Structure 1
Amino acid sequence: MNRPARLCLALLSAAAIASGTTGPAAAAPAELPSLGPDFQWGVAMSGFQSEGHAPDSNWSRYANSGQAHDTYRDSVDFYDRYAEDIDLAAGLGVKVYRLSIEWARVQPQPGVWDDRDFAFYDAVIAKIRAAGLRPMLTLDHWVIPGWEADRGGWKNQDMVTDWLANMRRVVDRYAADDPMWVTINEPMGYVAQSIQIGDIGIGDAVPMFDRLVQAHDTIYDYIHERQPGARVTSNIAQYPVIQNLTDLLFADRVRDKLDYLGLDFYYGTSLQNPPTTDLLGSELWKNAIEPEGIYYDLRNYSEKYGLPIYVVENGLPTGDAAPRPDGYDRADHLRDTVYWLQRAKADGIDVIGYNYWSLTDNYEWGSYSNRFGLYTVDVRNDPSLTRVPTDGVDAYREITANNGVPHDYRPTRQPAVCSIVVWTQSCVRPVTVP
């Protein structure tokens, strides 16, 4: 370890001691237990990113404005191919299919809803149930109708009223299907992306968080009125360095109205892989991947909130279909990540489910270059939009069949020194691999 790294480690360790977060390292169990038959394996997607045939919305406007890297086209056309994709998911052995109900599609005009606007989602959810899967429905995955954007979107003081009017109709329509619910996808990402595409200014960020909190709390109560025993969350993305700030702005404020905690985890950063501007850029495959960071994230939130935890999103980006510069492939990443889920479970952390993001490649908020799919789709060059399996398909199928990796599996990579996922704890309570 070089001198700056040693100095940083010393400072972090001192801070941890001062804050009372010291403790033993997380040693590996003698035999790695499986995640068990009740563990919820799933896949995830969002409407706008995958459906195609996009109605007028803030994001369809941005995607076709000339500012995005790629125009939208019809994405991977889940709208016409949903039955095929749901069958692909069922073939993986998963139990949960996450999707979003796009507000712009079901309420095309102010005050206007029609059964025909919901017909697509009626068919999709019926297919999910027929395939033996449980729907996980996201109410808001960053997309608002164009007419709502014209009213000011989240800058508008009446936004929450408009939002709730639609979301209550969604809940009324699908509560009987016994879905799991995600109210608002990645609130910090939602605010950041709203700034990036010009929906709000920096000065509107805190009021937007306030309105997101109000929206979540109100719809949480409504869901429970309509669906006794419902499981409701918002998924919290992992942001190195600023995680505590993101929690203060949203998660800490809604913690009493979460039935489980949804976590999204993708990238690592540590003394070995310091933060770079790639974390904020559009070439996501350049980010460091440290799968043990998911263990630190799970441990942190388990100790902080004491809730069951579902990993709502996790995946590995590549640049188009090219191999990653670091040599990591999707199969090894999946197995390594699941190893750390099993380690967390063995250490008493109540992790109840895992969704891979995503079943297919999709429109990653302005670009088709970032590929996350278990099935890759070349939107730019393949008019047939053929779903081509990656090495992750067989790996995930084997994982779901066995509820984890074998008891003697070891990750392909040793844990990094001092993960910044959870600032001090990873330095003074590190995980190790025998």
Structure 2
Amino acid sequence: MVRRALVVVLALVAGTLAGVTPAVASPAFFWGVATSGYQSEGSAPDSNWRRYEQAKTSSSKEPYRDAVDFRHRYAEDIERAKQLGVNVFRFSVEWARIEPRPGQVDQAELAYYDDVVRRVVAAGMRPMITLDHWVYPGWVADQGGWDTDRTRDAWLANARRVVERYKGLGALWITINEPTVYLQQEISNGGLAAWKAPWMLSRLVQVHRAAYDLIHQLDPGALVSSNTAFIPAVQGVLDASFLDHVKDKLDFAGVDYYYGASLDNVSAAHAANGEFWKVTPQPDGIYYALRYYARKFPNLPLYVVENGMPTDNGAARPDAYTRSDHLRDHVYWVQRAKADGVNVIGYNYWSLTDNYEWGSYQPRFGLYTVDAASDPALTRRPTDAVSAYRQLIADHGVPGGYTPVRPPGFCSVVDGLSSCLDPARYPGPVVPLG
């Protein structure tokens, strides 16, 4: 009875999506915030990741609990994003939530996503909708996950359902989040045998290519991509496994940049152990990551789909480098790239709130911090970066003459020797973003 009432209430609130006014024309620059379904929604249905978290062998994983309960607090979180001044709100529509059993669509959960989209558009933001942020239904896991063509076909059927529902609303579309890291997660969590990696990658390529064509058929003029996690010095090898196979099916190159490397900073090794907060940030690396893709894909615009800084359970960093320092420094280097002719069209901060970082609440990335493990109220508390981001957006970036808190590393190797032998001018000019 309660569930039926929820369907009715959400449907009434959402109204008819066909009547929702799309977001305004493309801005001069996309400023955004990002979330993902499983990491933030709570009330998790059966899925590959719910099983990974609950498996008896996953003692290293922290209990999921209810994440930060975006599922029931989305209205207030969307309002927080609006108050920042962003014009893009990234989220994922979770396949496991809307199709809990083969062919059975959960209308209450579709109504929930309808209202998310409606509120995002009403707030003057464009939805950036991710079709696959590493999570698929439990019944897909039962049929073999990405080890079978049945998953490819079912994935595309779900993609059609979602795109048909949210077409015409100015959405930006991400097909698959960080495909190479997706593969690594599936292998490390037992969802796929390591020797079958080429077949999973092949299927991911197939679904991206098909989804790109599907989206352009159903939602003409929409921008479509797949964001890649930039790994210093080895990105060319990783691109060969996915991105190079879909380069003709991208409207922009989506780049996720978190960690750099240089001869005086090899701390990114801590990320391999999941101790992300121990990595010393290297903001200048985002310049080289963008330059790498500008040279690789000279005709494609670039979009920083994710960038952010983790802290250890929200504690201040020992080096006193703050989230606002990190944000301003990275935006500075995006502006430097723009000044040097790189066609950067957007920047998303990861993430709006702290969330479940694939097994742990310890890494805190949020503009708003949430003590998911110890605060039953899941209170959103603004970090210093909230006001910093609001100001950056209002001013179209940092002002001329800004000096980064963290200077460039010595001989960056973010793009191999290229970034060491051909370093960016520093200090150098910046241009406004938008």
Which one of 62, 65, 85 corresponds to residue 77 of structure 2? 85
2:101 matches 1:112: no
Question: Which of these residues, 190, 194, 208, is aligned with residue 202 of structure 1?
Answer: 194
Question: Which residue in 2 is equivalent to 1:124?
Answer: 116
Cα distance in 1 for residues equivalent to 2:422 and 2:389? 30
**CA displacement at 1:37 relative to structure 2:** 6.5
Say whether residues 1:400 and 2:387 are aligned partners.
no
Worse-superposed segment, 281-290 or 391-400: 281-290
Equivalent position to 1:46, from 23, 36, 45: 36
Structure 1 unaligned residues grouped into runs of 5+: 1-35
Give the Å deviation of 1:257: 0.3
Distance 1:316 1:276 in 2: 13
CA contact (8 A) 2:302 2:343 kept: yes
Worse-matched range after superposition: 58-67 or 365-374: 58-67
Which runs of 5 or more residues in structure 2 are unaligned?
A: 1-25, 428-434
Query: Does the alignment pair 1:290 with 2:278?
Result: no
**Cross-structure match for 2:432:** none
- What does residue 304 of structure 1 align with? 296
For residues 152 and 421 of structure 2, the distance between their equivalents in structure 1, rounded to whole angstroms, comes to 43
Q: What is the aligned counterpart of 1:95 among 64, 75, 87?
A: 87
Q: Deviations over 1:19-77 (max 9, x none)?
A: xxxxxxxxxxxxxxxxx961110000100000000000010111222514311000000
Report the equivalent of 1:236. 228
- The aligned residue for residue 58 of structure 1 is 48
Q: Does structure 1 retain, via aligned residues, the 8 Å contact 2:259–2:282? A: yes
Partner of 2:309: 316
Answer yes or no: is the 8 Å Cα contact 1:415–1:432 preserved in 2.
no
Amino acid at match of 1:242: V
**Structure 2 match to 1:391:** 384
Q: Please list, as runs of the form range in 1=range in 2, the aligned pairs for 1:140-159 lying within 5 A after superposition.
A: 140-159=132-151
Amino acid at match of 1:426: S
Counterpart contact for 2:97–2:106, Cα < 8 Å: no
The CA deviation at 1:215 is 0.4
Instruction: Provide closer, same or farther for how the CA distance between residues 177 and 404 of structure 1 changes in structure 2, counting only shifts above 3 A.
Output: same
TM-score, scaled relative to structure 2: 0.90
1:171 aligns with 2:163: yes
* Contact kept? 1:286, 1:325, Cα under 8 Å: no
In structure 2, distance between residues paired with 1:429 and 1:241? 14
CA RMSD of aligned residues (A): 1.3
Tell me what 2:179 maps to: 187
**Worse-matched range after superposition: 331-340 or 105-114:** 105-114
Offset of 1:270 from its aligned partner? 1.3
Q: Which has the higher contact order (CA 8 A, sep 6+)?
A: 1
One-letter amino acid matched to 1:116: A
How far does the alpha carbon of each residue in 1:2-33 deviate from its partner, in whole angstroms, 9 at most, with x for none? xxxxxxxxxxxxxxxxxxxxxxxxxxxxxxxx
1:341 aligns to what? 334
Q: 1:357 aligns to what?
A: 350
1:196 CA drift (Å) = 1.1
**Contact 2:411–2:420 (Cα < 8 Å) also in 1:** yes
Structure 1 pair 101–62 and aligned structure 2 pair: CA distance change class (3 A): same
TM-superposed CA distance for 1:418, in Å, is 2.0
- State the distance in 2 between where 1:233 and 1:431 align: 27
The percent identity for this pair of structures is 56
For 1:51, the aligned partner's letter is E
Structure 1 position 433 matched with structure 2 position 426: yes
CA distance in structure 1 between the aligned counterparts of 2:48 and 2:130, rounded to whole angstroms = 18
Residues 241/433 of structure 1: CA separation in 2 closer, same or farther (3 Å cut):
closer
Contact 1:107 1:117 in 2 (8 A): no
**Per the alignment, do residues 37 and 160 of structure 1 end up closer, same or farther by CA in structure 2, a change over 3 Å counting?**
closer
- Matched residue type, 2:37: G
CA distance in 2, matches of 1:181, 1:98: 9
Count of residues in correspondence between the two structures: 399
TM-aligned CA deviation for residue 273 of structure 1: 1.2
Moved over 3 A (4+): none
**Deviation of the 1:268 alpha carbon:** 1.3
CA contact (8 A) 2:260 2:268 kept: no
Following superposition, the deviation at residue 412 of structure 1 comes to: 1.0
More displaced 10-residue stretch of structure 1: 59-68 or 389-398? 59-68
Question: Match of 1:15?
Answer: none
- Within the candidate set 407, 424, 428, 2:417 is matched to 424
Contact 1:410 1:433 in 2 (8 A): no
Q: Which moved more, 1:123-132 or 1:322-331?
A: 322-331
CA contact (8 A) 2:68 2:355 kept: yes
- 2:261 is matched with 269
Structure 1 residue 272: Cα displacement: 0.5
Which whole-Å CA distance do the structure 1 matches of 2:101 and 2:270 have between them?
A: 38
Deviation at 1:350, TM superposition (A): 0.5
Alignment-mate amino acid for residue 261 of structure 2:
T
> What does residue 16 of structure 2 align with?
none
Please tell me the residue identity of whatever aligns with 1:355. N
Aligned equivalents of 1:243 and 1:92: distance in 2?
32
1:5 corresponding residue in structure 2:
none
- For 1:310, what is the secondary structure of its paired residue? strand
- Post-superposition Cα deviations, 1:268-308, rounded to whole Å, max 9, x if no partner, equal 11111126541212111111210110000101101111210
